[in-house]
Structure 1
Amino acid sequence: MIFPRKKLIAIDIDMGSYQDFIYRLVGLASYRTSSYTCVANVHMLVEAYKNKDFAKVVNQADVITPDGMPIAKGMNLIYGVQQDRVAGMTLLPDLLHASLKHDLSVFFYGGTAEMLYQTEKYCKKTLPGLKIAGVYSPPFRPLTAAEETEIIDRINASGAHFVFVALGCPKQEKWMASMKGRINACMVGIGGSLPVMIGMQKRAPDWMQRNSLEWLFRLTQEPKRLFKRYAITNHTFLYLLFRTYAKQGFKKKPLQVDLKNT
């Protein structure tokens, strides 16, 4: 299939409706296509802007979704596109429901052992019949070559269609890129979506989501960890977006999309 993709500052964002993304990812998973999906938010975009090697990792992904509302609104400002937000916190549960519907098995990679235990418990309660191919909580250090081979073999032997990766940005994107062609599944970087889905953390109210204030809600939950990130990344994003808009004369750029075969 052919899908349009357009650059926003440093990341090539895929465009389409929310359901287009669900259909695309389920298709990749159904055939156990070795692929990876980056769920792009402001943090990821700024990291990609600062680091060309990381930008390459993200832009070589098979699918790049516009996660944060600022990303979706940025596409509208620069290109005049009314792009759906494809947020990880919505995408993850919807892909699990789709997996149940289409008899696809899922594997969870990353997070603590307690989080993965709660994930299995949550899935058994809310999605009875969902096939969980396995879970794995990696150590807080680089895997040895032998350990890496072992986990690759374990995931492939499990028959998993989806591998949901919860290592956080940019670690999960780098890991998925290194696993493409080695893990036979559709890998999706879900970041902080997993603890929210299983109830370990709360999600922002709808009105905050609609008004690009979800970051503020998360900040109130984890101020020590997130203050520096948001203070820097949010201001950097706004500056880069304004600069891009100014360079094109404060006008919408003609939408001549690049096409990506997936």
Structure 2
Amino acid sequence: MKSETLNGVITYAPNSRKELIDYAVQHKKILVAVNAEKILHATDQSRAIINRNLGYPDGIGAVWALRKKGHKDVVKIPGCELWLDIVKQHYNNKSFYLVGGKQEVIEATVIQLKQEFNGINICNFRDGYIKSEKEEADVIEDIKKHSPDIVFVAMGSPKQELLMERIQKQHQAVYQGLGGSFDVYTGNVKRAPEWWVRNNLEWTYRLINQPSRIKRQIHLVKFFINLILGKY
């Protein structure tokens, strides 16, 4: 699978979700979402985290930048959909471990997954409030004990990526950071309606519903100007 460097951020250019999933499973990678904001505001730390792992185009900005580099068939793969694609593709032959969210959210997530994917093997799960080094060590030991094939961690960046890297050193598996995806999956947070998502206007929908995001969205104008000027 080919990749490009966008403002120092190595971003892969999959032509399908299956291609990305198969590559991650084959090489036991940590999947990290890349979007316009992460490219524009890349720091030494964030670049290093993404570049050590498998950065994929989670937002349309990353897709446009990759297409400008010649990857005409690259597809946008939202992280809140990717983890469910992984489950759909592998719930019959892989085991899963889930970390993240509030206790009631992670419990609701597990119940919903078991209802939706009959026979799914969820080894274990826990909330995302890991408050001490001992608690983290206990999580790692429990993951090693259950030896899952795929681990989802929903804690927000860069905390989730750093935790996944520490776990990966002791247990090789596929990992994906999910941010608030458990909340979206269980309906605690509403995602944009399908039309907005399909037309790459999800950011616009969020802005309409949360005008306070305007300061954050203004920065994206700079990203698109840089893209037009060929700075990525």
- Both structures adopt the same fold (TM-score exceeding 0.5): yes
Are 1:211 and 2:216 counterparts?
A: no
1:54 matched residue in structure 2: 46
Kept after mapping to 1: 8 A contact 2:65/2:227:
no
Identify if the C-alpha distance between structure 1 residues 220 and 195 changes in structure 2 by more than 3 Å, giving closer, same or farther.
Answer: farther
Identity of aligned residues (%): 23
Deviation at 1:11, TM superposition (A): 1.7
> Deviations along 1:163-207, whole A, 9 cap, x unmatched?
101011222122223333123221111122222222222322233
Kept after mapping to 2: 8 A contact 1:14/1:64:
yes
Paired residue for 1:42, among 11, 24, 36? 36
2:229 matched residue in structure 1: 246
- Residues of 2 paired with 1:17 and 1:137: CA distance? 34
1:194-209 equivalent positions in 2, closer than 5 A: 194-209=182-197
Identify if the C-alpha distance between structure 1 residues 44 and 192 changes in structure 2 by more than 3 Å, giving closer, same or farther.
Answer: farther
Deviation at 1:78, TM superposition (A): 4.4
- Residues of 1 paired with 2:173 and 2:194: CA distance? 32
> Structure 1 stretches of 5 or more lacking a match?
254-262
Structure 1 stretches of 4+ with a deviation exceeding 6 A read none
Paired residue for 2:218, among 224, 235, 238? 235
- Residues of 1 paired with 2:120 and 2:207: CA distance? 33
Amino acid at match of 1:242: I
Secondary structure of the structure 2 residue equivalent to 1:82? coil
1:72-83 equivalent positions in 2, closer than 5 A: 72-79=63-70, 81-83=72-74
- Residues of 1 paired with 2:195 and 2:47: CA distance? 31
2:80 matched residue in structure 1: 89
- Residues of 2 paired with 1:116 and 1:131: CA distance? 15
Paired residue for 1:120, among 110, 124, 127? 110
Kept after mapping to 2: 8 A contact 1:57/1:173:
yes
Deviation at 1:10, TM superposition (A): 3.6
2:89 matched residue in structure 1: 98
> Deviations along 1:204-251, whole A, 9 cap, x unmatched?
223312333212333456x38xx34x623x333331342254256xxx
> Deviations along 1:34-56, whole A, 9 cap, x unmatched?
x3110222333344x2x212211
More RCO (CA 8 Å, sep 6+): 1
Kept after mapping to 2: 8 A contact 1:74/1:241:
no
Paired residue for 1:136, among 126, 130, 142? 126
2:162 matched residue in structure 1: 174
2:153 matched residue in structure 1: 165
- Residues of 1 paired with 2:118 and 2:200: CA distance? 34
Kept after mapping to 2: 8 A contact 1:93/1:197:
no
> Structure 2 stretches of 5 or more lacking a match?
none
- Residues of 2 paired with 1:75 and 1:90: CA distance? 20
Deviation at 1:97, TM superposition (A): 1.2
For these two proteins, the number of residue pairs brought into alignment is 231
Identify if the C-alpha distance between structure 1 residues 108 and 149 changes in structure 2 by more than 3 Å, giving closer, same or farther.
Answer: same
What's the TM-score once normalised by structure 1's chain length?
A: 0.78
Secondary structure of the structure 2 residue equivalent to 1:57? helix
Are 1:187 and 2:175 counterparts?
A: yes
Kept after mapping to 1: 8 A contact 2:15/2:73:
no
- Residues of 2 paired with 1:216 and 1:17: CA distance? 25
> Deviations along 1:48-87, whole A, 9 cap, x unmatched?
x2x21221111111x2110112221222234463311111
Kept after mapping to 2: 8 A contact 1:77/1:245:
no
